[in-house]
């Protein structure tokens, strides 16, 4: 979350949801090895989207690149 500046996310629920997805991917998905575990993780992520506003679609939240850090500095 190196670039998670509050002004970027305030009043922007889509960016906040994308940051959430990024963090979940880095903390959990990057550690999974087996296809069935990855499928289960993806199912949990899609299930969690039910708690987000109705106008956010999975393709909007999980759009690539899902990166919120700078590797330059």
Q: Residue 70: its pLDDT value, please?
A: 57
Range of the domain at 25: 21-50
pLDDT band at 2 (very low <50, low <70, confident <90, very high): very low
- Distance between CA atoms of 31 and 27, rounded to whole angstroms? 7
Residue 57 is assigned to a structural domain of this protein: no
Tell me the pTM. Answer: 0.74
Residue 28 is assigned to a structural domain of this protein: yes
Residue 38 is assigned to a structural domain of this protein: yes
Q: Which phi and psi (to 5°) does residue 42 adopt?
A: -60, -35
Residue 16 is assigned to a structural domain of this protein: no
Residue 3 is assigned to a structural domain of this protein: no
Strand ranges inside 1-68, DSSP E: none
The b-or-e profile of 11-49 (16+ CB within 10 A means b, else e) is eeebebbbbebbebeeeeeeeeeeeeeeeebeeebeeeb
Residue 25 is assigned to a structural domain of this protein: yes
**Number of independent structural domains in the chain:** 1
What mean pLDDT do residues 34-48 have?
Answer: 95
């Amino acid at each position: 979350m190196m670039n998670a500046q509050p002004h970027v996310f305030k009043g922007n629920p889509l960016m906040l949801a994308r940051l959430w997805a990024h963090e979940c991917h880095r903390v959990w998905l990057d550690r999974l090895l087996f296809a069935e575990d990855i499928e289960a993780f993806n199912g949990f992520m899609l299930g969690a989207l039910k708690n987000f506003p109705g106008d956010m679609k999975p393709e909007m939240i999980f759009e690539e690149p899902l990166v919120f850090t700078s590797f330059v500095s």
